[in-house]
Amino acid sequence: MSKIKNYIESNKERFIEELFELLRIPSISAKSEFDNDVRKAAQLLKTHFLNLGLDNCEICETEGHPIVYAEKIIDESFPTILIYGHYDVQPVDPIELWDQDPFDPYIKKTKIHAEGAIFARGACDDKGQMFMHLKALEIILKNDTLPCNVKLMIEGEEEVGSDNLELFVKNNKKKLSNDIILVSDTGMISKTIPSITTGLRGLSYLEVEITGPNRDLHSGHYGGTVANPINVLSKMINSLHDENKKITIPGFYDNVIEMSEDDRTKLNSSPFDINEFKESIGLQKEDGEIGFSTIERQSIRPALDVNGIWGGYTGEGAKTVLPSKAHAKISMRLVPGQDWKRINKLFTDHIKDIAPNTVKVKVTEHHGGQPYVAPTDTIGFKAASKAYQDVFNLEPIPTRDGGSIPIIALFEQELKSKTILMGFGLDSDAIHSPNEHYGVSNFLNGIETITKFHYYFKDLFND
Ligand code: BES
Ligand code: MN
Ligand code: MN
């Protein structure tokens, strides 16, 4: 058995226990009542960095949650890897759908993870995945010297849009200079089929408020005489897709870069079982833009979805009311060519345009981000590919993910370097959902793959 495998085998219980300690901290970035816990998670990370013997370990304050930074520069002439991840997590609601406390991690076997999976909020997104990098560095530092210089930047605001990290990156370009950025915050095709994410969708997120009368009205006394904001909003939302499930906002598709037929064929040949897809989420039939497969709809085509809608009376029983207001939170997933700020404007103009003159419309913009694509002919991709082959005995398949990590496109813009997305999560790991989990073997294989990446990257860099 190799030295790396050996080290993992004899230290895995401790690795998991250390991850549990991090998972016990409810570092929910979106809710200010957890601000102290978010900071505690940052402090724990700093302690890990110090224990690893990294240099310049610091908690960098921002207007919001802190960024934890550390580095180990072995030799200025060596290549430098910047590792990015996030220690903040999503809120846990609906809490009643969790089998156990989301911040009291435990291991349970599942159909897919026969060896067991770690259940907790953040187990996969992203504490468990980010923590693999710390353990990979531990393996190298305890047994050897680092083949590459490393810089680590772990933030606490990814789940709320990374606004402060954006500023930090713009102000610290020299400190963050690197030859490649390495991130584990995405998924792989299946437990045994490795893949490297070569694209992420961008994001545009807005909120719409429709106001009718200046107060809630009796729906008997007034019903039929005034426009009901919920009826109006529903109709407007319905009109945002046509009968082919295309988005109807004028100009929406103008700059979309269509994938070549060749690349589409390749994308569609990657292993994907539509029945498994449906079964895993309890669905009778899939749906989406006519003319595209589910894989394509999920990755290379834009999407518009209502994430939440509310107004009027939603409590127990029936209260007759004609509401004054209706609200909806709407996200759009964007693909290469689309600019989120332009899409925000198109959306806002269109919503105002289609609203009847019986109501008032207010649109508020939330965070957004640009889509990202990575080439596969880089030494970063090749190094990752070799590392995966060693661990999984298969060549990783390039895939495009539907989710967004807005900061990745910004890294490219500001730091002029490409990111390699080595994610080890599975679609079934329920990130952002109740009972989020992360396979123990995904965690351990991830540590091994990442460790190997450091060596292969150095080798290929020197060639
Ligand atoms: N790690 C996810 C993104 C992700 C997950 C990409 C799986 C690919 C596969 C990240 O933490 C996330 O949740 N991003 C948000 C956007 C963010 C601005 C809140 C998303 O995609 O909704
Ligand atoms: Mn994440
Ligand atoms: Mn997330």
Domain presence at residue 275: no
Query: Are 207 and 192 in the same domain?
Result: no
Q: Which ligand is nearest to the CA of 401?
A: 1
At 252, list the tokens: 């929406």
Query: Are 359 and 447 in the same domain?
Result: no
CATH number at residue 350: 3.30.70.360
Query: Are 211 and 166 in the same domain?
Result: no
Domain presence at residue 82: yes
Radius of gyration of the chain (CA): 24
Domain presence at residue 120: yes
Cα of 403 vs centre of ligand 1, distance in Å, is 5
Cα of 463 vs centre of ligand 3, distance in Å, is 37
Query: Are 144 and 240 in the same domain?
Result: no
CATH number at residue 454: 3.40.630.10
Domain presence at residue 261: no
> Amino acid identity of 397?
I
Query: Are 35 and 114 in the same domain?
Result: yes
Query: Are 320 and 349 in the same domain?
Result: yes
Query: Are 94 and 57 in the same domain?
Result: yes
Please name the residues in contact with 20: beta carbons below 8 A apart, sequence gap of 6 or more: 105, 118, 120
* Domain limit, last residue, from 350, 369, 388: 369
Query: Are 178 and 248 in the same domain?
Result: no
Task: Select which of 71, 88, 390, 401 is catalytic.
Answer: 88
Q: Which ligand is nearest to the CA of 90?
A: 3
- Is 144 a catalytic site residue? no
Domain presence at residue 314: yes
Query: Are 192 and 317 in the same domain?
Result: no
- By the 8 A CB rule, do 412 and 181 touch? no
Query: Are 35 and 126 in the same domain?
Result: yes
β-bridge mates for residue 399, sequence order: 197
Please name the residues in contact with 400: beta carbons below 8 A apart, sequence gap of 6 or more: 197, 198, 199, 200, 267, 299, 300, 373
Long-range contacts of residues 4-8, Cβ cutoff 8 Å, at least 24 apart: 4/139, 4/143, 4/448, 4/451, 4/452, 5/448, 7/139, 7/142, 7/143, 8/135, 8/139, 8/444, 8/447, 8/448
Query: Are 27 and 175 in the same domain?
Result: yes
Determine if ligand 1 sits within 6 Å of the CB of residue 371. no
Structural domain that includes position 319: 202-256+302-369
Determine if ligand 1 sits within 6 Å of the CB of residue 185. yes
First vs last C-alpha separation in the chain: 28
- Is 158 a catalytic site residue? yes
pLDDT score recorded for residue 51: 98
How far apart CA 156 and CA 86 sit, in angstroms, is 6
Determine if ligand 1 sits within 6 Å of the CB of residue 89. no
Q: What share of the chain is helix, strand, coil (3-state, %, to 5)?
A: 35, 20, 45
β-bridge mates for residue 68, sequence order: 59, 154
- By the 8 A CB rule, do 37 and 27 touch? yes
Nearest atom (ligand 1) to Cα of 401: 8
Query: Which value, to the nearest 10 degrees, does the dihedral of the CA atoms of residues 283, 122, 129, 78 take?
Result: 140
The residue to which tokens 């009542």 are assigned:
33
> What's the total number of domains in the chain?
2
Which element (helix H / strand E) includes 308? strand 303-311
Determine if ligand 1 sits within 6 Å of the CB of residue 90. no
If the chain, 463 residues long, is cut into consecutive pieces of 10 residues, what is the mean pLDDT of each piece?
Answer: 92 98 98 98 98 98 98 97 98 97 98 97 98 98 97 97 97 98 97 96 98 98 98 98 98 95 93 94 97 97 98 96 98 98 98 98 96 96 98 96 96 97 97 98 98 98 92
Q: Which ligand is nearest to the CA of 410?
A: 1
* Domain limit, last residue, from 317, 342, 369: 369
Cis before 94 (ω within 30): yes
Report the phi/psi class of residue 190: left, alpha or beta, with left for phi > 0 and alpha for psi in -120 to 50. Answer: beta
Domain presence at residue 295: no
pLDDT score recorded for residue 1: 57
CA torsion through residues 139, 162, 294, 427, sign: positive
How far apart CA 236 and CA 362 sit, in angstroms, is 14
Nearest atom (ligand 1) to Cα of 425: 7
- By the 8 A CB rule, do 303 and 172 touch? no
Cα of 324 vs centre of ligand 1, distance in Å, is 34
How far apart CA 132 and CA 324 sit, in angstroms, is 50
- By the 8 A CB rule, do 81 and 148 touch? yes
Q: Give the predicted TM-score (pTM) of the model.
A: 0.95
Query: Are 181 and 208 in the same domain?
Result: no
Report phi then psi at 455, rounded to 5.
-70, -45
β-strand pairing of 117-119 with 55-60: unpaired
* Domain limit, last residue, from 332, 347, 369: 369
How far apart CA 320 and CA 349 sit, in angstroms, is 33
Cα of 248 vs centre of ligand 1, distance in Å, is 25
Domain presence at residue 279: no
Cα of 112 vs centre of ligand 2, distance in Å, is 21
Domain presence at residue 292: no
CA distances from 332 to 159, 203, 289, 301, 400 (A): 16, 6, 14, 11, 17
